[in-house]
Chain A
Amino acid sequence: MAQKIKMIMAKPGLDGHDRGAKLLARVCAEAGMEVVYTGLRQTPEMIVAAAEQEDADVVGLSSLSGVHNYFFPKVVELMKQKGLEDVLLVGGGIIPEEDYDFLKKSGMNAIFGPGTPTGAIVDFIKENVRKR
Protein backbone atom coordinates (compact mmCIF):
# COMPACT_ATOMS: atom_id res chain seq x y z
CA MET A 1 0.00 0.00 0.00
CA ALA A 2 1.25 3.46 -0.87
CA GLN A 3 2.33 5.66 1.99
CA LYS A 4 0.00 8.52 2.93
CA ILE A 5 0.86 11.92 1.47
CA LYS A 6 2.03 14.15 4.31
CA MET A 7 1.06 17.81 4.15
CA ILE A 8 1.92 20.91 6.15
CA MET A 9 -0.72 23.65 5.94
CA ALA A 10 0.76 26.96 7.00
CA LYS A 11 -0.28 30.58 7.57
CA PRO A 12 2.75 32.83 7.05
CA GLY A 13 2.84 36.26 8.67
CA LEU A 14 0.28 37.99 10.83
CA ASP A 15 -2.78 37.24 8.68
CA GLY A 16 -5.63 35.78 10.72
CA HIS A 17 -7.90 34.60 7.89
CA ASP A 18 -7.72 30.85 8.21
CA ARG A 19 -11.12 29.68 6.98
CA GLY A 20 -9.58 28.48 3.71
CA ALA A 21 -6.53 26.88 5.31
CA LYS A 22 -8.62 24.92 7.81
CA LEU A 23 -11.15 23.92 5.19
CA LEU A 24 -8.49 22.66 2.83
CA ALA A 25 -6.74 20.83 5.66
CA ARG A 26 -9.98 18.96 6.31
CA VAL A 27 -10.61 18.23 2.63
CA CYS A 28 -7.05 16.92 2.13
CA ALA A 29 -7.34 14.75 5.23
CA GLU A 30 -10.58 13.32 3.88
CA ALA A 31 -8.82 12.65 0.59
CA GLY A 32 -6.41 10.40 2.47
CA MET A 33 -3.54 12.74 3.27
CA GLU A 34 -2.02 13.27 6.67
CA VAL A 35 -2.28 17.00 7.36
CA VAL A 36 -0.61 19.13 10.02
CA TYR A 37 -1.99 22.67 10.40
CA THR A 38 0.63 25.02 11.86
CA GLY A 39 -1.78 27.67 13.15
CA LEU A 40 -1.27 31.42 12.64
CA ARG A 41 1.77 33.69 12.73
CA GLN A 42 4.37 31.45 11.17
CA THR A 43 7.71 32.79 10.01
CA PRO A 44 9.29 31.15 6.92
CA GLU A 45 11.80 29.53 9.29
CA MET A 46 9.03 27.97 11.37
CA ILE A 47 7.26 26.63 8.30
CA VAL A 48 10.39 25.06 6.84
CA ALA A 49 11.32 23.58 10.21
CA ALA A 50 7.88 21.99 10.40
CA ALA A 51 8.25 20.60 6.88
CA GLU A 52 11.63 19.11 7.75
CA GLN A 53 10.54 17.70 11.08
CA GLU A 54 7.37 16.12 9.69
CA ASP A 55 9.14 14.90 6.54
CA ALA A 56 6.35 16.57 4.55
CA ASP A 57 5.65 15.78 0.91
CA VAL A 58 3.76 18.98 0.34
CA VAL A 59 3.59 22.41 1.97
CA GLY A 60 0.52 24.61 1.52
CA LEU A 61 0.87 28.34 2.13
CA SER A 62 -2.26 30.45 2.64
CA SER A 63 -2.16 34.23 2.56
CA LEU A 64 -4.96 36.78 2.36
CA SER A 65 -3.09 39.87 3.51
CA GLY A 66 -1.10 40.65 0.38
CA VAL A 67 2.25 39.37 1.67
CA HIS A 68 2.60 36.42 -0.72
CA ASN A 69 5.29 38.04 -2.88
CA TYR A 70 7.40 38.49 0.25
CA PHE A 71 6.77 35.24 2.11
CA PHE A 72 6.39 32.57 -0.54
CA PRO A 73 9.83 33.09 -2.17
CA LYS A 74 11.40 33.17 1.31
CA VAL A 75 9.94 29.74 2.05
CA VAL A 76 11.16 28.42 -1.31
CA GLU A 77 14.67 29.68 -0.62
CA LEU A 78 14.85 28.16 2.86
CA MET A 79 13.50 24.84 1.57
CA LYS A 80 16.34 24.79 -0.96
CA GLN A 81 18.89 25.57 1.72
CA LYS A 82 17.63 22.58 3.71
CA GLY A 83 17.78 20.35 0.64
CA LEU A 84 14.02 19.95 0.51
CA GLU A 85 13.70 20.72 -3.23
CA ASP A 86 11.49 17.72 -3.92
CA VAL A 87 8.73 18.91 -1.58
CA LEU A 88 5.71 20.23 -3.48
CA LEU A 89 4.93 23.88 -2.70
CA VAL A 90 1.41 25.18 -3.28
CA GLY A 91 -0.07 28.54 -2.35
CA GLY A 92 -3.49 30.12 -2.19
CA GLY A 93 -5.51 33.07 -0.94
CA ILE A 94 -6.14 36.59 -2.19
CA ILE A 95 -3.43 36.53 -4.83
CA PRO A 96 -3.93 38.50 -8.04
CA GLU A 97 -3.30 36.54 -11.25
CA GLU A 98 -0.63 39.02 -12.28
CA ASP A 99 1.53 37.68 -9.42
CA TYR A 100 1.26 34.01 -10.45
CA ASP A 101 4.17 34.17 -12.87
CA PHE A 102 6.51 35.76 -10.39
CA LEU A 103 5.60 33.22 -7.71
CA LYS A 104 6.00 30.24 -10.03
CA LYS A 105 9.31 31.52 -11.34
CA SER A 106 10.52 31.86 -7.78
CA GLY A 107 9.78 28.18 -7.19
CA MET A 108 6.15 27.71 -6.17
CA ASN A 109 4.63 24.70 -7.95
CA ALA A 110 1.11 26.09 -8.11
CA ILE A 111 -1.03 29.03 -6.98
CA PHE A 112 -4.77 28.64 -6.41
CA GLY A 113 -6.86 31.81 -6.37
CA PRO A 114 -10.25 32.52 -4.80
CA GLY A 115 -13.07 30.24 -5.97
CA THR A 116 -10.83 27.26 -6.84
CA PRO A 117 -12.70 24.00 -6.17
CA THR A 118 -10.93 22.08 -3.41
CA GLY A 119 -11.06 18.95 -5.57
CA ALA A 120 -8.79 20.60 -8.14
CA ILE A 121 -6.19 21.26 -5.44
CA VAL A 122 -6.35 17.69 -4.15
CA ASP A 123 -5.95 16.38 -7.72
CA PHE A 124 -2.98 18.64 -8.37
CA ILE A 125 -1.25 17.46 -5.22
CA LYS A 126 -1.86 13.78 -5.96
CA GLU A 127 -0.58 14.11 -9.52
CA ASN A 128 2.50 16.15 -8.74
CA VAL A 129 3.69 15.01 -5.35
CA ARG A 130 6.97 13.08 -5.15
CA LYS A 131 6.65 9.33 -5.34
CA ARG A 132 8.19 7.37 -2.50
Chain B
Amino acid sequence: MTTFEAILLTIVTASTPLLIAALGELVTERSGVLNLGVEGMMAMGAACSFAAAVTFDSTLIGVMAGMMAGALMAALFALVVLGFAANQVGSGLALTIFGLGLSGLIGAPFVGARRDPVPPVDIPGLSDIPFIGRLFFEQDLFVYSSVALTILIALYLTRTRSGLTLRSIGENHTSANALGLPVLRVRFVAILFGGACAGLAGAYLALVYTRFWSPGMTAGRGWIALALVVFAAWRPGWLLIGAYIFGAATVLQLHAQAAQFGVPSQVLSAVPYLATILALLLLSLRHGRAVGAPGSLGAPFVPDR
Protein backbone atom coordinates (compact mmCIF):
# COMPACT_ATOMS: atom_id res chain seq x y z
CA MET B 1 0.00 0.00 0.00
CA THR B 2 1.44 3.37 -0.97
CA THR B 3 1.46 6.35 1.39
CA PHE B 4 -1.07 8.03 -0.83
CA GLU B 5 -3.45 5.11 -0.52
CA ALA B 6 -2.93 5.07 3.24
CA ILE B 7 -3.82 8.75 3.44
CA LEU B 8 -6.97 8.21 1.42
CA LEU B 9 -7.94 5.31 3.70
CA THR B 10 -7.55 7.47 6.82
CA ILE B 11 -9.66 10.16 5.19
CA VAL B 12 -12.52 7.66 4.98
CA THR B 13 -12.06 6.76 8.66
CA ALA B 14 -11.91 10.40 9.73
CA SER B 15 -15.00 11.36 7.72
CA THR B 16 -17.27 8.52 8.84
CA PRO B 17 -17.96 9.71 12.42
CA LEU B 18 -18.66 13.24 11.15
CA LEU B 19 -21.08 11.86 8.59
CA ILE B 20 -22.94 9.61 11.02
CA ALA B 21 -23.36 12.30 13.68
CA ALA B 22 -24.39 14.90 11.11
CA LEU B 23 -26.96 12.56 9.52
CA GLY B 24 -28.66 12.12 12.90
CA GLU B 25 -28.68 15.85 13.54
CA LEU B 26 -30.02 16.47 10.04
CA VAL B 27 -33.09 14.34 10.75
CA THR B 28 -33.60 16.04 14.12
CA GLU B 29 -33.32 19.49 12.55
CA ARG B 30 -35.60 18.58 9.67
CA SER B 31 -38.28 17.90 12.30
CA GLY B 32 -37.74 21.45 13.54
CA VAL B 33 -35.60 20.79 16.61
CA LEU B 34 -32.10 22.21 17.02
CA ASN B 35 -30.07 19.94 19.29
CA LEU B 36 -26.74 21.55 20.14
CA GLY B 37 -25.92 18.59 22.36
CA VAL B 38 -24.26 16.53 19.60
CA GLU B 39 -20.82 16.95 21.14
CA GLY B 40 -22.08 15.74 24.52
CA MET B 41 -24.03 12.80 23.09
CA MET B 42 -21.00 11.82 21.02
CA ALA B 43 -18.73 11.98 24.07
CA MET B 44 -21.17 9.76 25.98
CA GLY B 45 -21.34 7.38 23.03
CA ALA B 46 -17.56 7.12 22.98
CA ALA B 47 -17.19 6.57 26.72
CA CYS B 48 -20.07 4.11 27.11
CA SER B 49 -19.20 2.10 24.00
CA PHE B 50 -15.58 1.80 25.06
CA ALA B 51 -16.49 0.86 28.63
CA ALA B 52 -18.95 -1.79 27.41
CA ALA B 53 -16.64 -3.13 24.71
CA VAL B 54 -13.76 -3.58 27.15
CA THR B 55 -15.95 -5.03 29.91
CA PHE B 56 -17.69 -7.58 27.69
CA ASP B 57 -14.86 -7.85 25.17
CA SER B 58 -17.29 -7.34 22.32
CA THR B 59 -17.35 -4.59 19.71
CA LEU B 60 -21.02 -5.30 18.99
CA ILE B 61 -22.06 -4.79 22.61
CA GLY B 62 -19.90 -1.66 22.66
CA VAL B 63 -21.65 -0.23 19.62
CA MET B 64 -25.07 -1.01 21.10
CA ALA B 65 -24.09 0.65 24.38
CA GLY B 66 -22.84 3.73 22.54
CA MET B 67 -26.09 4.10 20.61
CA MET B 68 -28.14 3.54 23.77
CA ALA B 69 -26.13 6.17 25.62
CA GLY B 70 -26.64 8.69 22.83
CA ALA B 71 -30.37 7.95 22.68
CA LEU B 72 -30.75 8.24 26.46
CA MET B 73 -29.03 11.62 26.43
CA ALA B 74 -31.33 12.66 23.60
CA ALA B 75 -34.35 11.48 25.60
CA LEU B 76 -33.28 13.78 28.44
CA PHE B 77 -33.04 16.64 25.95
CA ALA B 78 -36.45 15.75 24.51
CA LEU B 79 -38.00 15.77 27.97
CA VAL B 80 -36.78 19.32 28.57
CA VAL B 81 -37.44 20.86 25.13
CA LEU B 82 -40.64 19.00 24.22
CA GLY B 83 -42.12 18.26 27.65
CA PHE B 84 -41.28 21.63 29.16
CA ALA B 85 -40.98 23.66 25.93
CA ALA B 86 -37.63 24.96 27.21
CA ASN B 87 -35.19 26.96 25.13
CA GLN B 88 -33.51 24.60 22.65
CA VAL B 89 -30.20 26.42 22.29
CA GLY B 90 -29.64 26.60 26.04
CA SER B 91 -30.79 23.03 26.64
CA GLY B 92 -28.53 21.70 23.88
CA LEU B 93 -25.56 23.50 25.37
CA ALA B 94 -26.44 22.11 28.78
CA LEU B 95 -26.58 18.63 27.28
CA THR B 96 -23.09 19.08 25.85
CA ILE B 97 -21.67 20.33 29.17
CA PHE B 98 -23.39 17.47 31.00
CA GLY B 99 -22.29 14.85 28.47
CA LEU B 100 -18.66 15.94 28.51
CA GLY B 101 -18.64 15.79 32.32
CA LEU B 102 -20.46 12.48 32.67
CA SER B 103 -18.42 10.81 29.93
CA GLY B 104 -15.31 11.75 31.92
CA LEU B 105 -16.73 9.90 34.95
CA ILE B 106 -17.63 6.83 32.92
CA GLY B 107 -14.45 6.64 30.89
CA ALA B 108 -11.94 7.32 33.69
CA PRO B 109 -11.50 3.67 34.80
CA PHE B 110 -10.80 2.66 31.19
CA VAL B 111 -7.93 5.03 30.46
CA GLY B 112 -5.00 2.98 29.16
CA ALA B 113 -7.07 0.09 27.86
CA ARG B 114 -6.84 -0.68 24.13
CA ARG B 115 -9.09 -2.47 21.67
CA ASP B 116 -8.03 -4.62 18.74
CA PRO B 117 -8.69 -3.22 15.27
CA VAL B 118 -12.11 -3.93 13.84
CA PRO B 119 -11.52 -6.20 10.83
CA PRO B 120 -12.44 -4.75 7.45
CA VAL B 121 -15.09 -6.51 5.40
CA ASP B 122 -14.20 -7.21 1.78
CA ILE B 123 -16.90 -6.98 -0.77
CA PRO B 124 -15.96 -9.92 -3.01
CA GLY B 125 -15.28 -8.95 -6.60
CA LEU B 126 -15.43 -5.22 -6.05
CA SER B 127 -12.45 -5.13 -3.70
CA ASP B 128 -10.24 -6.55 -6.45
CA ILE B 129 -10.67 -3.45 -8.63
CA PRO B 130 -7.28 -1.78 -8.62
CA PHE B 131 -6.92 1.28 -6.38
CA ILE B 132 -10.57 2.17 -5.73
CA GLY B 133 -11.31 -1.43 -4.75
CA ARG B 134 -9.13 -1.23 -1.66
CA LEU B 135 -10.32 2.25 -0.90
CA PHE B 136 -14.05 1.78 -1.03
CA PHE B 137 -14.74 -1.94 -0.76
CA GLU B 138 -12.30 -3.09 1.91
CA GLN B 139 -13.56 -0.92 4.75
CA ASP B 140 -15.18 -1.76 8.07
CA LEU B 141 -18.93 -2.19 8.39
CA PHE B 142 -19.43 1.30 9.84
CA VAL B 143 -18.23 2.93 6.64
CA TYR B 144 -20.66 0.93 4.49
CA SER B 145 -23.45 1.60 6.99
CA SER B 146 -22.81 5.34 6.96
CA VAL B 147 -23.14 5.50 3.18
CA ALA B 148 -26.20 3.25 3.24
CA LEU B 149 -27.70 5.45 5.97
CA THR B 150 -27.16 8.54 3.84
CA ILE B 151 -29.08 6.99 0.95
CA LEU B 152 -31.84 5.63 3.22
CA ILE B 153 -32.34 8.99 4.93
CA ALA B 154 -32.43 10.79 1.57
CA LEU B 155 -35.06 8.34 0.33
CA TYR B 156 -36.99 8.50 3.59
CA LEU B 157 -37.18 12.29 3.56
CA THR B 158 -38.18 12.66 -0.08
CA ARG B 159 -40.00 9.46 -1.00
CA THR B 160 -42.05 8.36 1.99
CA ARG B 161 -45.19 9.67 3.59
CA SER B 162 -43.65 9.59 7.03
CA GLY B 163 -40.68 11.62 5.74
CA LEU B 164 -43.06 14.20 4.32
CA THR B 165 -44.82 14.41 7.67
CA LEU B 166 -41.50 14.97 9.41
CA ARG B 167 -40.53 17.71 6.99
CA SER B 168 -43.86 19.50 7.20
CA ILE B 169 -43.65 19.48 11.00
CA GLY B 170 -40.21 21.02 10.70
CA GLU B 171 -41.35 23.66 8.23
CA ASN B 172 -44.36 24.88 10.15
CA HIS B 173 -45.41 23.18 13.35
CA THR B 174 -48.54 25.26 13.81
CA SER B 175 -49.98 24.26 10.43
CA ALA B 176 -48.88 20.67 10.90
CA ASN B 177 -50.66 20.57 14.22
CA ALA B 178 -53.78 22.07 12.69
CA LEU B 179 -53.70 19.26 10.12
CA GLY B 180 -53.68 16.78 12.98
CA LEU B 181 -50.08 15.66 12.60
CA PRO B 182 -48.51 14.42 15.85
CA VAL B 183 -45.87 17.17 16.18
CA LEU B 184 -44.39 16.21 19.53
CA ARG B 185 -44.37 12.47 18.87
CA VAL B 186 -42.54 12.82 15.55
CA ARG B 187 -40.06 15.23 17.09
CA PHE B 188 -39.45 12.86 19.98
CA VAL B 189 -38.55 10.04 17.61
CA ALA B 190 -36.39 12.35 15.48
CA ILE B 191 -34.48 13.54 18.56
CA LEU B 192 -33.91 9.93 19.69
CA PHE B 193 -32.66 9.00 16.23
CA GLY B 194 -30.25 11.94 16.28
CA GLY B 195 -29.00 10.84 19.68
CA ALA B 196 -28.48 7.24 18.59
CA CYS B 197 -26.51 8.44 15.54
CA ALA B 198 -24.34 10.73 17.68
CA GLY B 199 -23.76 7.80 20.04
CA LEU B 200 -22.81 5.58 17.12
CA ALA B 201 -20.40 8.22 15.85
CA GLY B 202 -18.84 8.36 19.31
CA ALA B 203 -18.59 4.56 19.38
CA TYR B 204 -16.81 4.65 16.02
CA LEU B 205 -14.32 7.19 17.35
CA ALA B 206 -13.47 5.11 20.40
CA LEU B 207 -13.64 1.60 18.94
CA VAL B 208 -12.30 2.09 15.42
CA TYR B 209 -10.65 5.48 14.99
CA THR B 210 -8.45 5.71 18.10
CA ARG B 211 -9.16 2.33 19.76
CA PHE B 212 -8.58 3.87 23.16
CA TRP B 213 -10.49 6.33 25.31
CA SER B 214 -9.22 9.68 26.53
CA PRO B 215 -11.07 12.62 28.09
CA GLY B 216 -12.33 15.15 25.56
CA MET B 217 -11.52 12.82 22.66
CA THR B 218 -14.43 14.13 20.58
CA ALA B 219 -12.45 17.41 20.25
CA GLY B 220 -15.25 19.48 18.75
CA ARG B 221 -16.34 16.91 16.15
CA GLY B 222 -19.92 17.20 17.35
CA TRP B 223 -19.82 20.92 16.66
CA ILE B 224 -18.32 20.35 13.24
CA ALA B 225 -21.14 17.90 12.53
CA LEU B 226 -23.62 20.66 13.42
CA ALA B 227 -21.87 23.02 11.03
CA LEU B 228 -21.95 20.36 8.31
CA VAL B 229 -25.73 20.23 8.47
CA VAL B 230 -25.87 23.96 7.75
CA PHE B 231 -23.18 23.60 5.10
CA ALA B 232 -25.17 20.82 3.40
CA ALA B 233 -28.29 22.99 3.35
CA TRP B 234 -30.10 20.18 5.28
CA ARG B 235 -29.65 17.70 2.37
CA PRO B 236 -28.16 14.22 3.01
CA GLY B 237 -26.30 14.06 -0.32
CA TRP B 238 -24.43 17.28 0.33
CA LEU B 239 -23.72 16.06 3.83
CA LEU B 240 -21.78 13.11 2.42
CA ILE B 241 -19.63 15.43 0.31
CA GLY B 242 -19.19 17.92 3.14
CA ALA B 243 -18.18 15.25 5.66
CA TYR B 244 -15.52 13.91 3.28
CA ILE B 245 -14.12 17.39 2.59
CA PHE B 246 -13.80 17.96 6.33
CA GLY B 247 -12.38 14.52 6.93
CA ALA B 248 -9.78 15.24 4.27
CA ALA B 249 -8.91 18.60 5.84
CA THR B 250 -8.42 16.93 9.23
CA VAL B 251 -6.22 14.13 7.89
CA LEU B 252 -4.08 16.33 5.62
CA GLN B 253 -3.58 18.69 8.55
CA LEU B 254 -2.27 15.76 10.64
CA HIS B 255 0.10 14.68 7.87
CA ALA B 256 1.32 18.24 7.43
CA GLN B 257 2.11 18.31 11.16
CA ALA B 258 4.10 15.12 10.84
CA ALA B 259 5.99 16.43 7.82
CA GLN B 260 7.10 19.51 9.81
CA PHE B 261 6.92 22.25 7.22
CA GLY B 262 8.08 24.76 9.77
CA VAL B 263 4.51 25.84 10.36
CA PRO B 264 3.63 25.67 14.08
CA SER B 265 1.52 22.59 14.82
CA GLN B 266 -1.11 24.75 16.52
CA VAL B 267 -1.76 26.60 13.27
CA LEU B 268 -2.46 23.31 11.52
CA SER B 269 -4.59 22.06 14.42
CA ALA B 270 -6.74 25.16 14.01
CA VAL B 271 -7.39 24.32 10.35
CA PRO B 272 -10.62 22.27 10.85
CA TYR B 273 -12.15 25.00 13.02
CA LEU B 274 -11.16 27.83 10.69
CA ALA B 275 -12.32 25.77 7.72
CA THR B 276 -15.72 25.43 9.38
CA ILE B 277 -16.03 29.19 9.74
CA LEU B 278 -14.84 29.69 6.17
CA ALA B 279 -17.30 27.11 4.82
CA LEU B 280 -20.20 28.79 6.62
CA LEU B 281 -19.05 32.16 5.33
CA LEU B 282 -18.72 31.00 1.71
CA LEU B 283 -22.15 29.41 1.90
CA SER B 284 -23.70 32.66 3.12
CA LEU B 285 -21.82 34.65 0.47
CA ARG B 286 -23.30 32.45 -2.22
CA HIS B 287 -26.86 32.39 -1.00
CA GLY B 288 -27.26 35.43 1.17
CA ARG B 289 -28.75 33.58 4.12
CA ALA B 290 -28.63 29.99 5.27
CA VAL B 291 -30.63 28.14 2.65
CA GLY B 292 -32.85 25.17 3.26
CA ALA B 293 -33.28 25.76 6.97
CA PRO B 294 -36.55 24.26 8.23
CA GLY B 295 -39.02 27.04 9.02
CA SER B 296 -39.72 26.08 12.62
CA LEU B 297 -36.11 25.22 13.49
CA GLY B 298 -35.34 25.99 17.10
CA ALA B 299 -38.78 27.32 18.04
CA PRO B 300 -40.48 25.64 20.98
CA PHE B 301 -43.89 24.18 20.20
CA VAL B 302 -46.88 24.69 22.46
CA PRO B 303 -50.18 23.68 20.86
CA ASP B 304 -53.07 26.14 21.01
CA ARG B 305 -56.19 24.93 22.64
The answer to whether A and B interact is no
